[in-house]
Chains A and B, each alone.
Chain A
Amino acid sequence: MNYQVTIGLEMHCELKSNSKVFSKSRNTFSGTPNDNVTPPDMAFPGTLPMVNHKCVRDAIKMALVLNCDIPAFMSFDRKNYYYPDLPKGYQITQFYNPVGTNGNIDILVDDKVVNIKIHDIHLEEDAASLDHYVDTSVIDYNRAGVPLLELVTEPCIHSSADAVAFLEHMRSTYKYCDVSEGDTKKGEIRCDVNVSLSKDDTLGTKVEIKNVNSFGAVRDVIEYEIKRQSALLDAGRENEIEQETRRWDEETKKTIRMRSKADAIDYKYFPDPNIPPYVITEEEINDIKKTIPILPIARKKIYEEKYGLSSYDAKVIIKEKSVSDFFEECLKLDIPAKLASNWLTTTILGKINELDIPLEEFYLKPEYLKQIIEASTSGVISSKQAKEIFNKAVEEKKEPKTYLKENRQISDENELHNLIKTILDNNRDQVKAYKNGKTNLFDYFVGQVMKETKGKANPNLTKEILTKLLKEI
């Protein structure tokens, strides 16, 4: 039987910042354990939190993007529990007055607009990371105090595809807003997934799956839970679906029970007395609004309506901000939109995929692409040559124009005329045969011209002159 699936997501995303959210330690990825640590990160006695203003502003920015209600003031609360990766014995988070509540955002799922409701978004700190060995465990405090933005959706998502689309959309939006790198490989995004099944519109029993660390795993978790819970419901064993917390086991591709609701931890949330409430003024909100760029869905609409791109191409371009920015840079350089789009969506994305680098690190900037495109459209080079120059420029990291001279197409009518005349003079037998009806020899003559010019002769012009000269003979 098919059941109504309802999914809620909690998405934790590390923010970009120079320093950590409550201390002066650097917030950079470091391969050396315990490299980015100051006394507050390890909760040495007497140390106090200092709220990072930049992180607060980024949190407000995202609350605005998510169309949240922004409170007149926000505050920070302590979530109390003991765990070896939690130095203070509490996490500073926002429970009572988060930066944004009651929001919503449109996302695209297969060209269909889906509105996702946001329960709240709040700023908090990450815990340290633990590594376990055979008989010992070690703590790396580099991650302790790294700023995290957690957004919590309402239970309003009904398929794994929508869930993953939402997460992809949010990751892209974070990157568009320049608040996060959004790199799941570095663990910068982590999710908790709630799944419930029901026979009707009432919500079924909620099962929470914690610490799902990739979007693929989110999809797998949801599909697995739908299967698991459906089987129980089909068998009339709905009482075995408990309100519980489970975890995803990547090896077995199964969710495993951690604890039931009855054993849930009481986090004893209360306001952190060391951090005065943060007043959010109208002025600050307006200030932050100015820093929000045009977001993907709006860009897609512009690309389609103003620049005539196909919905598919527009979607490919907006998926990553770097790609979209590259495209817009091309437009600024007066590269025709469709040409820019074609080059970008096929050749360039293919190339960076092949090189396995982000677009930001790609050598061929829009201004260089322009050199190739201009040479190609004006007929100076063939489209085949354009590809060759592109590859060479990327490989040797040299401006395309350095290759244009040696690859210049012969489009001079006189020059070609003389050249073709000579070739025909040297192939009298073939010309005679052609005249006697062996018309497929035309391609032979073209081939001879290309051979003579090492392929640089403008093919259209060559055919034109050949036809004319052969007629005259």
Chain B
Amino acid sequence: MSYMDKSLTEIHEALFSKKVTSKELIKESLEKAHELESSCNAFVSILDNASEKEVTDDLLSGIPYGIKDNYATKDILTTASSNTLNNYIPFYNATAINNLNKHNVVGIAKTAMDEFGMGGVGITPHTGIVKNPWDLTRTPGGSSCGSAASVAAGVYPYALGSDTGDSIRKPAAYCGIVGYKPTYGMISRFGLFPFASSLDHCGVLTRNVYDAGIVVNAMKGQDVNDMTSWDSSNIDLVKDIDSDIKGKKVCYIKEICDVSNYPHASSELKEHLANFNKTLDILKNLGVQVDEVSVDRELLDKIASVYVVISCAEATSNMSNLTGISFGPRSTEKKDVFKMMKEHRTKGFSPLIKRRFVIGSYVLQKENQERYFRNAARVRRLIVEAWKDLFKTYDAVILPVGSGPAPLIKDCVDHVSNDENTILEEHLQVGNFGGFPSITIPNGFINNLPVGVNLTSNIYNDIVLLNIAKRLEDAMPYQNQIAKGGLK
């Protein structure tokens, strides 16, 4: 009998009725973690000393979970999958971790990620490339690659992720699971190693929408340590999650969803968009009004570059603390402190990150800042306003995630893409521009590989978002599915 591949509710019932103990769950989870590590390389650390917690009537109590390695965990190695922090043990917990600990949760592993959250295909962790448990030749997506792979494989029912562009919501799609990032500031970012502070969100990867609501309920809360956090104590994300969604209004954007936008569409992409249309039909059958809307194509085309400019700029500044002076591995250079910092950074960062730092520095330079950084900020606002316009009428925007299932690892290169599929690959970044609550759920298979659909709502509208997502999920057969390729 296995439990770690079940939903939180099922596991909790088994625990509460004493069919299984927290200790047994930990054993099962650790065994699966080790097995997945050998097949998918999903972890930075597996916490073999994890100890059981008292089981209460709390749905999360006594149950194992995974933690993306950019959440500071007290006394536990936390590397953000970077060599610049390969020996770093924080002496403080991220606020989200402290909040979860109040629910007697059991951390089982620190999951591998694209270095500092930069990257979308799981090829930059310092511990090696992470593989998709549905097909080991494919990427699980990134940057929350280890969290997505391990939840999909059934190592535990949920893992924490972070999302700066789509780092929770895209791997969720590639791994056939649920990925949810709530409204910006609902979960404190204190202790989350930053990538781009104005875009960074904490969130969770689960195998069903209800579990995502439960976990974020436990992670959230205003925090004096994060000035951008806000009081959500009156928000219960699961209380009305099963409400009828008849009469709700959802829209999709023609310029993104219509196959005619992609004259060179692969059969996979065609199938993906056709499948998306089927999902729209399901929504309609649930009584939801589904409308096609138009957004200025020129604006949509700017999403990717706005993201690159803003995220790289913030990243280059955010990561200036990584000098190896007061934490992180010390450089062997002893005489010149500037050489010491330089050596630490040259050796520690992967080429991909360095390239982004160069972009970030360039767009912030005095002579370039107006043209790039400031303009990106302006266009960001225009894009957010375009979405907010939609939210005046619609409860959510629904869009397909990516241009199909997970790509092959060998085809994965980090580049600023400029082909006709770019908008499909990058539109989730709008959720980060606006701080919008956004959730990806699985909506089918193409060539036996899972694909996902995304729903995004206006800020503070998380309850409605989860409600629609849950009802849509209930109407499809992909809830709690497990990838069979990672574990025997």
Contacts and interface: CB of A to CB of B under 8 A. Distances in A.
B192 to A, nearest CB: 5
Interface string A422-452: 0000000000000000000000000000000
A89 B326 CA distance: 12
B448 interface: no
B181 to A, nearest CB: 17
B108 interface: no
Given A39-B92, A87-B326, A270-B364, A51 B227 contact: yes
Given A89-B317, A274-B227, A46 B366 contact: no
Contact of A47 (B190, B224, B314): B190
B321 A45 contact: yes
B327 A44 contact: yes
A78 interface: yes
A43 interface: yes
A139 B193 contact: no
Contact of A89 (B85, B194, B321): B321
Interface in A21-50: 39, 42-50
B361 to A, nearest CB: 7
A186 to B, nearest CB: 24
A88 to B, nearest CB: 5
A49 B189 CA distance: 11
Given A50-B224, A90-B320, A273 B198 contact: yes
B314 A273 contact: yes
A82 B228 contact: no
A20 to B, nearest CB: 14
B313 interface: yes
B432 to A, nearest CB: 12
Contact of B317 (A48, A51, A139, A270): A270
Contact of A274 (B72, B78, B228, B369): B228
A268 interface: yes
A293 interface: no
Nearest to B194: A46
Interface in A120-150: 137, 139
A401 B80 CA distance: 73
A84 B227 contact: no
B323 interface: yes
A48 B227 contact: yes
B364 A50 contact: no
A391 interface: no
Contacts of B85: 45
B92 A44 contact: yes
Given A46-B194, A50-B225, A270 B320 contact: no
A270 B360 CA distance: 12
B317 A46 contact: no
Given A88-B320, A273-B314, A48 B364 contact: no
Interface size class of B (residues with CB under 8 A): 35 or more
B366 A266 contact: yes
Interface string B89-117: 01110100000000000000000000000
Given A46-B192, A80-B364, A268 B321 contact: no
B307 interface: no
B337 A84 contact: yes
Given A268-B366, A270-B369, A273-B314, A46 B321 contact: no
B92 A89 contact: no
Nearest to A275: B227
B92 A268 contact: no
Given A44-B327, A273-B198, A276-B228, A268 B338 contact: no
A48 B169 CA distance: 25
A87 B249 CA distance: 49
A239 to B, nearest CB: 26
Nearest to A23: B225
A45 B72 contact: yes
B231 to A, nearest CB: 14
B325 interface: yes
B341 interface: yes
Given A44-B90, A90-B317, A268 B361 contact: yes
B445 interface: no
Contacts of A45: 72, 78, 80, 85, 88, 90, 193-194, 321-322, 327
A83 B326 CA distance: 13
Nearest to B188: A48
Contact of B325 (A47, A84, A266, A274): A84
A229 to B, nearest CB: 28
Contacts of A44: 72, 90, 92, 321, 327
| Interface size classification for chain A | 20 to 34
Q: Name the residue in A50, A51, A89, A272 with the highest tally of chain B Cβ atoms < 10 Å from its Cβ.
A: A89
Contacts of A51: 227
B373 A270 contact: yes
Nearest to A88: B321
Contacts of A49: 227
B421 interface: no
A45 B194 CA distance: 7
Contact of A273 (B94, B197, B337, B366): B197
Contact of B341 (A46, A50, A82): A82
B56 interface: no
A42 B326 CA distance: 7
Interface string B59-77: 0000000000011100000
B58 interface: no
Interface in A80-97: 80, 82, 84, 87-90
A46 B365 contact: no
A217 B420 CA distance: 65
Nearest to A39: B92
B407 interface: no
A188 B365 CA distance: 32
Given A82-B341, A89-B321, A266-B365, A46 B227 contact: no
A91 to B, nearest CB: 11
Interface in B225-247: 225-228
Contacts of A273: 196-198, 314
A19 to B, nearest CB: 12
Contacts of A266: 365-366
Contact of A43 (B72, B88, B321): B321
A276 B326 contact: no
B184 to A, nearest CB: 11
B151 to A, nearest CB: 23
Interface string B215-229: 000000000111110
Contacts of A84: 323, 325, 337, 341
B191 interface: yes
B190 A268 contact: no
Interface string B195-215: 011100000000000000000
B224 A139 contact: no
B317 A80 contact: yes
25 contacts: A42-B326, A43-B326, A45-B72, A45-B88, A45-B322, A46-B94, A46-B190, A46-B193, A47-B190, A51-B227, A80-B317, A82-B320, A82-B338, A82-B341, A84-B337, A88-B321, A89-B317, A90-B317, A266-B366, A270-B369, A270-B373, A273-B196, A273-B198, A274-B197, A275-B227
The 9 closest A-B pairs by CB, nearest first: A89-B320, A273-B198, A268-B364, A43-B321, A273-B197, A46-B191, A45-B193, A46-B72, A84-B337
Interface of A: 39, 42-51, 78, 80, 82, 84, 87-90, 137, 139, 266, 268, 270, 272-276
Interface of B: 70-72, 78, 80, 85, 88, 90-92, 94, 189-194, 196-198, 224-228, 313-314, 316-317, 319-323, 325-327, 337-338, 341, 361, 364-366, 369, 373
Given A48-B225, A84-B337, 9 more contacts: A46-B189, A46-B190, A48-B189, A48-B226, A84-B325, A87-B321, A90-B317, A273-B314, A274-B197
